[in-house]
Amino acid sequence: MVASGGRDSSADSVRVSGRPANIWDVAKAAGVSHQTVSRVLNDSPSVRPATRERVLVAIDELGYRRNPAARALVTRKSQTLGVVSFDTTLYGPASTLYGIEQSAREAGYFVSVASLKSIDVVSMRDALERLAEQSVDGLVVIAPLREAGDALAELRGKLPVVVVEGGSAPGLASVSVDQVDGGRLATRHLLEQGAQNVHHVSGPADWLESEGRIAGWREELAQAGLEPPELLQGAWSPSSGYAAGRELARMKDVSAVFVANDQMSLGLLRAFHEEGIRVPQDVLVAGFDDVPEAAYYTPPLTTVRQDFAQVGRRSIELLLEQIGEGPGPESHAVVPVELIVRQSSVRSSMQRQHLRSRPAKR
Amino acid sequence: MVASGGRDSSADSVRVSGRPANIWDVAKAAGVSHQTVSRVLNDSPSVRPATRERVLVAIDELGYRRNPAARALVTRKSQTLGVVSFDTTLYGPASTLYGIEQSAREAGYFVSVASLKSIDVVSMRDALERLAEQSVDGLVVIAPLREAGDALAELRGKLPVVVVEGGSAPGLASVSVDQVDGGRLATRHLLEQGAQNVHHVSGPADWLESEGRIAGWREELAQAGLEPPELLQGAWSPSSGYAAGRELARMKDVSAVFVANDQMSLGLLRAFHEEGIRVPQDVLVAGFDDVPEAAYYTPPLTTVRQDFAQVGRRSIELLLEQIGEGPGPESHAVVPVELIVRQSSVRSSMQRQHLRSRPAKR
DNA sequence: CGGCCTAGTGTGAGCGCTCACAGATTGGCT
DNA sequence: AGCCAATCTGTGAGCGCTCACACTAGGCCG
């Protein structure tokens, strides 16, 4: 025994040895077998409270943490979910990812992301491959493109998958926002506000979100007995919205525009502003997404709010169902939308008079 | 032997057995030892080309993929990097995360995210704990708050860490955008454009980014021999920018405003618009971030661009250095900014005449 | 022509955990 | 007191891989 004993037994909760404590170290410290430690770790009911307590103390003293690799090796489960997403810089995907992460965490899962630089089958396949190599327990694919489904079809059955905004690829669980309803809501609202007809600036043709919004717009016009004006196609970006705005400014008979997202709406509003077209006095405008900025556009933008947090939540729920942890087998979830009315689509009565005093529109 | 033999030897590349192929299966199929397979997997030079080829073929036939858990168990490396971020919905963090993910992938690492709901020491600690449990090989913390450093100090030494926008916590590697320079650039530009003085709408006080931008603004004013006007504090949101705009509208002697981010600028522009204050004729405005929308604000916004992709890239570089894969030990990286001049801060000569014809400003 | 080096390959142990089962303890009842 | 069931705890194997080392076969030198 050395003079000033207890030097290395100082209650420091940090082990002296190089390697981190393992389950055997804990077992020894607690005077039990490694298996009992394992039982405590896994909340097994069949361990006496007193024993459990001793083990817990030992764990704490040794600063023990369980080795996930060893655990994954034997259980064949990594407790990790993969998320594939395109351009996590955009508001929609970013928000969805956020929701997914929150829900996954609550369910005790980690989230590993793979974002695509370009959205094509090759890089999609590449991302899926990567995640598969990591042996994730399940996959959420934020796949707004039609062709993304092809890459997914391959791994059906091999791995639990939930597709977000990926349409209803047969046999794949999916979550999507009710785009059609959103299109209808916006269009109907514009008509109710007195629009003679409603133009539409859509997203890129191969995006499923574009399709849904176009469909909703067409349906609502049809129901009102109106012929849909020629479609203008954008690319989600402010600049494409600006271009569409310039074009619309040159056209006659434009009394309202439903734009497929808020970013494009901003560009369009800017183009209208430059052309001296007043919103909402001359033309009514509605967007889609309800980004935080929308309320501060000039004018504040009427738009369709998507509940991305709920999209994320439902994705995880559906995924866990497949993995076998959730309730029943449900394969498709639709998240409702909400119309947010702001100035861009509402004419005060005075403003309407203004409109009436201008050259009549068809 | 059964009549129509070869039924289960069809070249299907999919194994019949339930469990996935392991290294021994491959070894047997290739007629080598498991260790040789391992060598092929790890690109060991000491394996004859012919042998390697045979192994590769076997791997392909069996659809073998190496088990990362087993690998991690023995190497004590998970090939996974953790990212802690606050509100991945914001443009800055989202873009940074994107850059991080791209760079990590190139370096052969996976990325696991943990986003904070609220930004305080408790939830920060919680996120760090989670990631540590997952035994990540390193950590990137997007920690714009001063107090975030406290939670990080604890795990210094235990795990390689890089702090993004976290200031220069001693002993921690960090990457940050040159906020001070950004503040100076914007302020100087506004002065050069003829502003008598420059007001500032800052971010929240406890954010390091706010501090840097304020410092730059102060420095530049001092250099011009100007007394800094009273500081207005916002909260990054459009609504807080709007509030600041209303306040500034009531004040005299406002000839230019440097706003600490683009979102707030939008709100401010809206408030000015409502108050009949023209930008840039009456007041010059500059923002910070250069979000994609900035070019389409009314008017298009002069702003300071941050290269988030580079921030992500440098983070990973610094992290890999610590892990021992990169070049030398460098502890702090500063990413430069760039001033993007648009209409909000530039008066055309005609517009300037306009201004001159109004009641003189001090 | 035996020794020795090198390139290529094989052998066995062990990483830290869980699973299936075997063994030890306890208590209630006859 | 004796026995059985129920409760609690321990034992050993094995998950799939890498590491350290042992081995084999040629080729070259003295």
pLDDT in tens, chain B (362 residues): 333 332 333 333 444 557 899 999 999 999 999 999 999 999 998 899 999 999 999 999 999 999 999 999 999 999 999 999 988 888 999 999 999 999 999 999 999 999 988 877 888 888 998 999 999 999 999 988 777 777 777 776 678 999 998 766 677 889 999 999 999 999 999 999 999 999 999 999 988 899 999 999 999 999 999 999 999 999 999 999 999 999 999 998 999 999 999 999 999 999 999 999 999 999 999 999 999 999 999 899 999 999 999 999 999 999 999 887 666 566 889 999 999 999 999 987 444 433 333 343 33
Q: Which of B73, B79, B70 is nearest to B22 (CA)?
A: B70
* Contact call for A297 and B263, based on CB within 8 A: no
List the single best residue of A88, A105, A113 to mutate versus B (max B Cβ within 10 A).
A113
Confidence class for position A352, pLDDT limits 50, 70, 90: very low
A303 pLDDT more than 70: yes
B46 CA to D30 C1' distance (Å):
29
Contacts of A111 in chain B (CB under 8 A): 112-113
Identify the weakest region by mean pLDDT among A112-126, A325-339, B194-208: A325-339
* Contact indicator for A181, A288 with CB cutoff of 8 Å: no
Distance from CA of A18 to the nearest CA of B (A): 12
* Contact indicator for B163, B169 with CB cutoff of 8 Å: yes
Higher pLDDT residue, A236 or B355? A236
* Contact call for B115 and A135, based on CB within 8 A: no
B49 CA to D25 C1' distance (Å):
17
Confidence class for position A330, pLDDT limits 50, 70, 90: low
Tokens 């394969």 belong to which residue?
A331
Q: Which nucleotide is nearest to B71 (CA to C1')?
A: D17
* Contact call for B130 and A111, based on CB within 8 A: no
| CB neighbour burial string for A45-81, b if at least 16 within 10 angstroms, e if fewer | eebeeebbebbeebbebbebebbbbbbbbeeeebbbb
Distance from CA of A311 to the nearest CA of B (A): 14
* Contact call for A91 and B95, based on CB within 8 A: no
| Interval A197-234: pLDDT, tens | 999 999 999 888 999 999 999 999 999 999 999 999 99
Both tokens assigned to B181: 């320079």
Higher pLDDT residue, A143 or B76? B76
Distance from CA of A69 to the nearest CA of B (A): 5
Confidence class for position A89, pLDDT limits 50, 70, 90: confident
A116 pLDDT more than 60: yes
Check residue A230 and give its pLDDT.
95
| Interval A21-59: pLDDT, tens | 999 999 999 999 999 999 999 999 888 999 999 999 999
**Structure letter (DSSP) for residue B158:** T
Residue A107, Cβ density class (10 Å: 0-12 exposed, 13-18 middle, ≥19 buried): middle
Nearest CA in chain B to A134: B68
Of A71, A88, A239, the CB nearest to B94: A88
- The amino acid that residue A112 corresponds to is S
Angle between helices A238-250 and A262-274 (to 10 degrees): 40
Confidence class for position A169, pLDDT limits 50, 70, 90: low
Average pLDDT value for chain A: 87
Nearest CA in chain A to B68: A134
Neighbours of A360 (CB within 10 A): 6
Contacts of B241 in chain A (CB under 8 A): 296
Check residue A325 and give its pLDDT.
67
Q: Which helix (H) or strand (E) holds B162?
A: strand B161-164
- Give ∠ CA A89-A91-A97 in degrees, rounded to 5: 75
Check residue B310 and give its pLDDT.
95
Check residue B354 and give its pLDDT.
39
* Contact indicator for A69, B135 with CB cutoff of 8 Å: yes
